[in-house]
Structure 1
């Protein structure tokens, strides 16, 4: 294999339509950079929740205490998997705190909420970063070990809502689902 020297320069200055498209791209970058603070403060797409540092073991202890105090039944997964065939069904008091844990490979526990009531949902992970996606709504959050992310939630419609992990978390990721029931 022989190497041949470059006979022409590999770079040439933009000309004609290239200058126009570079100008449009730079202008668009400038506009988007100015819009980011606006979207953050006025766009209503960012969580208005709170976040606190917490040890995963402490968060699990709080969750277990919450489940013990508010358990109303058992949710049997209609498509059972090895990770979450049965979960405690928990109903927090209206206006109260509810705890939801992401761990390999389940959301724990299943929640039953009341339409029109406001709840503070504490969300965290014990082992890995998990994605909390509430379907069919467009709610997406990250559950990260060591952080208690508090969401203020007021359900506006009744139904059964599925929680899906949308952050790859290992071999059981495809089966990591949970439930929130709104009555």
Structure 2
């Protein structure tokens, strides 16, 4: 005669399992609220481009990278990352401006980080990374490459000048 073991969960363990499940649900709801209601954004590929021709195609905005004014206080910045260089190296905007960055790479993986901010995105060949930022405080904001891209990696930097 075989007996089947009985499986019982102690009430103390049930309480902890319920508490864990409740905390997990609260965490998921808070992440959803932060993502949608508060407008937090994670940089994601905006589009695809051909990395072999992105800098030379006359129809590509990266054939002449830089800042474009869409309306007063609203700009688009097209930044091309290539081995050991950001093009353009310097961007100047007035304080209070909203800038949408479109960053791509024509060769290897790079990073685009504006120092002393939480603005950081991965830049991959063939993909366009997009992020919108409002610069309220005048000053200089350095940007750097955060992915090792070879021996000249340390020279891969630039700056954003926010004028009063």
Normalised TM-score (structure 2): 0.67
- CA-CA distance at 1:46 after TM superposition: 0.7
- CA-CA distance at 1:166 after TM superposition: 2.8
- CA-CA distance at 1:174 after TM superposition: 4.2
Paired positions, count: 148
Q: Does 1:54 align with 2:26?
A: no
CA distance in 2, matches of 1:16, 1:47: 41
Q: Which residue of 1 aligns with 2:4?
A: none
Report if the CA contact (8 A) 2:43-2:129 is conserved. no
- CA-CA distance at 1:149 after TM superposition: 2.8
Report if the CA contact (8 A) 2:77-2:102 is conserved. yes
Q: Is there any run of 5+ residues in structure 1 with no aligned partner, and where?
A: 1-12, 68-90
Q: Is there any run of 5+ residues in structure 2 with no aligned partner, and where?
A: 1-7
Alignment equivalent of 1:131, drawn from 100, 111, 115? 111
CA distance in 2, matches of 1:129, 1:65: 21
Q: Which residue of 1 aligns with 2:37?
A: 42
Relative to total residues, which structure has the larger strand share, 1 or 2? 2
Q: Note the aligned Cα RMSD (angstroms).
A: 3.3
- Cα deviation, 1:15-65, whole Å, max 9, x if unaligned, reads 797766555444333322333332221132215888122112443233242
